[in-house]
Amino acid sequence: MPVESADELEEILASETIAVVGCSRTPGKAAHDVPKYLLDHGYDVIPVNPHADEIFGRQAADSLAAVEDEIDVVCVFRPSEEVAGIVDAALARDDVDVIWTQQGIRDDQAAARAEAEGRRVVQNRCMKVQHRRLVA
């Protein structure tokens, strides 16, 4: 069952390193503004975008597999149809504790697979909105 309680969301928001799959270089897009907000609020944001060399002055990884740092949370800004493959990539790593899909993005089967592997899942929620509501 995906995470919904405020206490559990707050616990997840205490994580440090967030890999943002689908992070955008374009200001004004949620996939840019939300990770920028998280970066500005002290998170270590790792942009994952195969079409960018760098975002926010940070090197962008081509994929989750290419990220050398440890990842606490994978934040997904890709269409729902791509979530299953992103979950597979996250499950291939031992360090990912949480998979978080942004507002409007969900894949219940992929979420169930991640939960069966011991990962926590947040679906269809904006990380920035939840941070403002519970932490800021």
Q: Residue 119 burial (CB < 10 Å; 0-12/13-18/19+)?
A: middle
- Burial track 3-20 (b if 16+ CB lie within 10 A, e otherwise): beeeeebeebbeeebbbb
**What pLDDT does 2 receive?**
86
pLDDT tens for 104-131 read 999 999 999 999 999 999 999 999 999 9
What's the whole-number average pLDDT of the chain?
A: 97
pLDDT tens for 4-45 read 899 999 999 999 999 999 999 999 999 999 999 999 999 999
Q: What pTM, to 2 d.p., does this model score?
A: 0.96
DSSP codes, 42-60: T-EEEEE-TT-SEETTEEP
Task: Report d(CA 129, CA 81) in Å as an integer.
Answer: 23
Q: In terms of CATH, what superfamily is 6-134? A: NAD(P)-binding Rossmann-like Domain (3.40.50.720)
Q: Which amino acid is present at 112?
A: A
- CA-based nearest residue to 39, from 127, 133, 121, 112: 127
Listed by start position, the domains of the chain span: 6-134
pLDDT tens for 48-95 read 999 999 999 999 999 999 999 999 999 999 999 999 999 999 999 999
